[in-house]
A and B are shown apart, each in its own frame.
Chain A
């Protein structure tokens, strides 16, 4: 059931936990599996803009069939791949301000885990 795998990723998925290198001030997201001695955890703001995006017309059933996916440039620097939600394809554009929301990513079946994590949606006015 890969319970441990999902559990291990919760910091990044639930609250955008990334890593900052204290020497270079570089922020990495998701954080590296093996952090170095100069890495510290940092919670990213979840604000950013759409750097590029695409529609996946024939997605896995587990991902809800058709969905939009984007590369989001976070204000802290990292480029994150994530689904877009609460938006229609004709309302998406490059440079659009977006914010992170926590949503259900996958339902692993009646006897399986519900997997939650980040998606992005257009910034609420």
Chain B
């Protein structure tokens, strides 16, 4: 599905990253007798944090940048694969915390790591059709990784919130989007199971790379653009290597990817990963510069977007903490503390 004409844009954005970090070398010390992993370390939610609390802080930051009150939001949509309840929406609680009216539309979305951009595309539809003036779409996760599994080295925590509104008020217009999905079983978690399973190398070529590259290529084709037309590229980032390889294969240069590449420092924040990369990129983008954003969710699919920064972005970015503020407040923890924070001890 390609939408090549859009009168919507991002009117507010907000990041959240917990302050705790565990180094991959610390995980490797416990499970592999030493060594390293696919990222330097990953962000870990504290014992009092989860998808709901992180979504609330990211949402508050987005409202500040948009200079909106929660009561003005028409939707509060939370995309995640780690909603705290199996049955009981995260969206209602987030909506109340943001000061929304009870007449807001609140819901939870699920599509592995692209649940947040699903809500973003749906929000574009709600705003474009005039059904709501502002739509809030959040991607947030406290990702699960089985102890000792490859996923444990990257499965991280974070949240990013986007408020969609008319392009006239936008900090960045959303000029076009393409969604590309196939049934590809690269990663899944059955109901009531605590940890997901993954297809090891099968998660690469037929899954991440195929969908990201197909969505991005289709978007470029639809809008008649080339990689060089974009100042920045932000990709879903399950590790440090995948997005850099995909960017190169698409014809983008490393400096286009660098500002939005957070995975080497904080790991894979799942539903938040691409949107957090977008937050970090919007923090530095100048008026008129274009950004390509491509999310990826296992199962599998990718959403690609073309955005252009407007003259409103510069004055909005410091109304809330920049992504770099959250990146900088690192508190490193050892494996034993991390295991407690993630509830991995069986207390009998």
Contacts and interface: CB of A to CB of B under 8 A. Distances in A.
A10 to B, nearest CB: 6
Interface in A86-125: 86, 101-105, 114, 116, 119, 124-125
Interface in B300-348: 321, 325-326, 329
A124 B325 contact: yes
Contacts of B47: 64, 104
A10 B96 contact: yes
A119 B85 contact: no
B57 A102 contact: yes
Contact of B97 (A14, A64, A86, A119): A14
B96 A119 contact: no
B53 A14 contact: no
A15 B96 contact: yes
A56 interface: no
A119 B56 CA distance: 13
A111 B99 CA distance: 28
Contacts, number: 48
Contacts of A64: 47-48
A43 B98 CA distance: 11
A85 interface: yes
Interface in A6-65: 10, 14-15, 43, 64
A24 B147 CA distance: 58
B46 A15 contact: no
Contact of B321 (A102, A105, A124): A124
A66 to B, nearest CB: 11
A116 B93 contact: yes
A119 B48 CA distance: 10
A37 B48 CA distance: 37
Contact of B53 (A15, A103, A124): A103
A10 B50 CA distance: 18
A10 B47 CA distance: 21
Interface in B54-74: 56-57
Contacts of B53: 101-104, 116
Interface of B: 19, 46-50, 52-53, 56-57, 84-85, 93, 96-99, 321, 325-326, 329
Given A15-B98, A101-B57, A124-B321, 19 more contacts: A14-B93, A14-B96, A14-B97, A15-B97, A85-B48, A101-B53, A102-B56, A102-B57, A102-B97, A103-B49, A103-B53, A104-B47, A104-B52, A114-B85, A116-B53, A116-B93, A119-B48, A124-B326, A125-B325
Interface of A: 10, 14-15, 43, 64, 85-86, 101-105, 114, 116, 119, 124-125
Instruction: Kindly list the 4 A-B residue pairs having the minimum CB-CB distance in the complex, ordered from nearest.
Output: A103-B48, A14-B97, A104-B48, A102-B56
8 contacts: A10-B96, A15-B99, A64-B47, A86-B19, A102-B97, A114-B50, A116-B53, A125-B325
